[in-house]
Amino acid sequence: MNPYLAGVILGLVLLLSFYLTGRGLGASGAMKSVVVTGVEVVAHEKAATSDFYGKYLEGESSPMKNWLVFQVLGVLVGGFLSGALAGRLSLKTEHAPGITSRKRMLMAILGGALFGFGSQFGRGCTSGAALSGMATLSLAGFVTMIAIFGTAYLFAYFFRKNWI
Amino acid sequence: MAPIIPIYEISQELNFLIAFIIGIGFGFALEQAGFSSSRKLAGMFYGYDTTVLKVFFTAAIVAMLGLLFLNHWELIDMSIIYVNEYYINSAIIGGVIMGVGFIIGGFCPGTSVCAAAIGKLDAMAYLGGALIGIFLFGETYPLWKDIYMKNYLGGIKLSTTLGISDGLLIFLIIAAATLMFWVGEWAEKKFRRSDISKEL
């Protein structure tokens, strides 16, 4: 799809989210719910008294009964439907010809871990902090966006063999 | 009057159904944009594919303008719209760590969910990594708590900081984005990698 048209559609979905719920879109928040639930199941006492996990366990219902969790389940379905329509469904590991699949998988785990860690530090990821934050003109949104993309540019040279 | 759900006290079940439907739209738009491919996303940082720039800024501008007009026509109560809270240190530190994660991992959390949905194994690995990273933050939270909470400025807007109106700020962002789109189109020709683009 033309990227500008895809951007307009994404912008309208984001606007609809604000119109209906008063908040934008998100992704890392749902992953946090998964982690908090996991820790709660394995180590109930520890989770309840932790400064970090505790604040998501104060309510009576499970942290999985959360708006963002259902929204991210929708992302899975929406992505699958789009991929099916475009004929892009296939199990594969995508990487540059210069590196092995194994290296790509290790880099994906490492990159994911850094992004996950950073998303908690920065109170949201590209969706919740940068994109949704910019839509409301929040200073935090612009700062997070510049920090994410600026840093990725700064480090791009060192990781070029992974991509080109 | 919007936002609908907080004002009309919609039931939790309906609220979650709406979340799921909005998520479908979100995932569909990301996948249609081509964000289920890490090499397409990474192209942004090498110039051969600047789709990320185009989609990201077009979407942000559409939503900004939408909120500006809804507010102007008094169709939305902006006082209950969530404006991200700004903690200077954590926003910058978190953003820098996410930036490194982006260039190493090739996805951000939202795009990894979308890529995993069409079967990308590297996206599934990335998702696992993201859960590990969040867990590590949770486990080491006492170490970061002070800096995480430092220099709190509240839900402050860039237009307030600059002392200009929201409308003027949006105009300036549209002008900046137009310039960046032009640079992006130029970069895609200058750093063209037909061998990669053909595969995506």
List the end-to-end C-alpha distance of chain A, in Å, as a whole number.
23
CA distance A125 to B111: 11
CA distance B172 to B116: 36
Asked, for residue B200, whether it belongs to a domain, the answer is: no
Per-residue pLDDT tens for B146-169? 999 999 999 999 999 999 999 999
Residues B1 and B78 in one domain: yes
Instruction: Count Cβ atoms below 10 Å from residue B188 Cβ, excluding itself.
Output: 18
Could you tell me where the DSSP H helices lie in chain B? 4-8, 12-32, 38-43, 51-72, 88-105, 109-117, 121-149, 158-162, 166-190, 194-199
CA distance B173 to A126: 18
- Please, which residues have CB within 8 angstroms of residue B176's CB and are 6 or more apart in sequence? none
Residues B100 and B145 in one domain: yes
Determine, for residues B118 and A83 on separate chains, whether the beta-carbon distance falls below 8 Å. Answer: yes
Residues B94 and B4 in one domain: no
Q: Which chain B residues touch A149 with a CB distance below 8 Å?
A: 44, 99, 102
Confidence band, pLDDT 50/70/90 cuts, at residue A61? confident
CA distance B193 to A152: 20
Residues B6 and B78 in one domain: yes
Residues B77 and B119 in one domain: no
Report the residue from A93, A112, A122 with minimal CB separation from B91: A122
What secondary structure letter does DSSP report for A131? I
Query: Which among A31, A114, A155 is the top mutation candidate for probing chain B, defined by the most B β-carbons within 10 Å of its own β-carbon?
Result: A114
Number of structural domains found in chain B:
2
CA distance B121 to A93: 5
Amino acid at B186: W
Residues B110 and B51 in one domain: no
Residues B91 and B141 in one domain: yes
Answer yes or no: is pLDDT of A50 > 80. yes
Confidence band, pLDDT 50/70/90 cuts, at residue B196? confident
Weakest-pLDDT range from A9-23, A51-65, B16-30: A51-65
Asked, for residue B135, whether it belongs to a domain, the answer is: yes
Question: What pLDDT score was predicted for residue B195?
Answer: 85
Supply B97's token pair. 């760590």
Q: Where are the beta strands (DSSP E) in A3-151?
A: none
Q: Which chain A residues touch B117 with a CB distance below 8 Å?
A: 75-80, 83
Asked, for residue B13, whether it belongs to a domain, the answer is: yes
Supply B128's token pair. 């696992």
Per-residue pLDDT tens for B5-35? 989 988 999 999 999 999 999 999 999 999 9
Answer yes or no: is pLDDT of A14 > 80. yes
CA distance B144 to B137: 9
Determine, for residues A118 and B30 on separate chains, whether the beta-carbon distance falls below 8 Å. Answer: no
For tokens 């890392």, name the residue: A28
The answer to whether B153 contacts chain A (CB < 8 Å) is yes
Determine, for residues A135 and B67 on separate chains, whether the beta-carbon distance falls below 8 Å. Answer: yes
CA distance A146 to chain B (A): 8
Coil, strand or helix at A55: coil
Q: Which chain A residues touch B21 with a CB distance below 8 Å?
A: 74
Q: What is the mean pLDDT of residues A9-17?
A: 98
Answer yes or no: is pLDDT of B199 > 80. no
Residues B89 and B74 in one domain: no
CA distance A146 to A58: 34
Cα-based distances in Å from B75 to A12, A65, B68: 16, 29, 10
Question: What pLDDT score was predicted for residue B1?
Answer: 87
Task: Kindly identify which residue of chain A lies nearest to residue B104, measuring between CA atoms.
Answer: A111
User: Where do the domains of chain A lie?
Assistant: 1-90, 92-164
Residues B139 and B150 in one domain: yes
Per-residue pLDDT tens for A100-157? 999 999 999 999 999 999 999 999 999 999 999 999 999 999 999 999 999 999 999 9
Residues B15 and B47 in one domain: yes
Q: What is the mean pLDDT of residues A71-75?
A: 98
Q: Which chain B residues touch A124 with a CB distance below 8 Å?
A: 84
Q: Which chain B residues touch A122 with a CB distance below 8 Å?
A: 90-91, 93-95, 97-98
Residues B45 and B144 in one domain: no
Weakest-pLDDT range from A28-32, B43-47, B173-177, B195-199: B195-199
Confidence band, pLDDT 50/70/90 cuts, at residue B198? confident
Determine, for residues B22 and A112 on separate chains, whether the beta-carbon distance falls below 8 Å. Answer: no
Give phi and psi for B41, each to the nearest 5: -60, -45
Q: B14: domain range?
A: 1-82+164-195
Per-residue pLDDT tens for B89-145? 999 999 999 999 999 999 999 999 999 999 999 999 999 999 999 999 999 999 999
Closest to B114 measured CA to CA, from B26, B48, B55, B12: B26
CA distance B38 to chain A (A): 7
Answer yes or no: is pLDDT of B197 > 90. no
Q: Which chain B residues touch A53 with a CB distance below 8 Å?
A: 138
Contact A56/B6 with Cβ under 8 angstroms? Answer: no
Q: How many residues does chain A have?
A: 164
CA distance A160 to chain B (A): 8
Task: Kindly identify which residue of chain A lies nearest to residue B178, measuring between CA atoms.
Answer: A4
Residues B97 and B121 in one domain: yes
Query: Which among A56, A90, A145, A163 is the top mutation candidate for probing chain B, defined by the most B β-carbons within 10 Å of its own β-carbon?
Result: A163
Give phi and psi for B157, each to the nearest 5: -100, 150
Question: What pLDDT score was predicted for residue B167?
Answer: 97
- The Cα diameter of chain B in Å comes to 53
Asked, for residue B124, whether it belongs to a domain, the answer is: yes
Q: How many residues does chain B have?
A: 200
Of chain B residues 176-195, which have a CB less than 8 A from chain A? 193
Confidence band, pLDDT 50/70/90 cuts, at residue B67? very high
CA distance B71 to chain A (A): 11
Q: Which residues pair with B152 in a beta bridge?
A: B87
ipTM of the complex: 0.96
CA distance A109 to B124: 9
The answer to whether B115 contacts chain A (CB < 8 Å) is yes
Closest to B196 measured CA to CA, from B48, B50, B55, B54: B48
Asked, for residue B47, whether it belongs to a domain, the answer is: yes
Weakest-pLDDT range from A54-68, A84-98, B54-68: A54-68
Question: What pLDDT score was predicted for residue B70?
Answer: 97
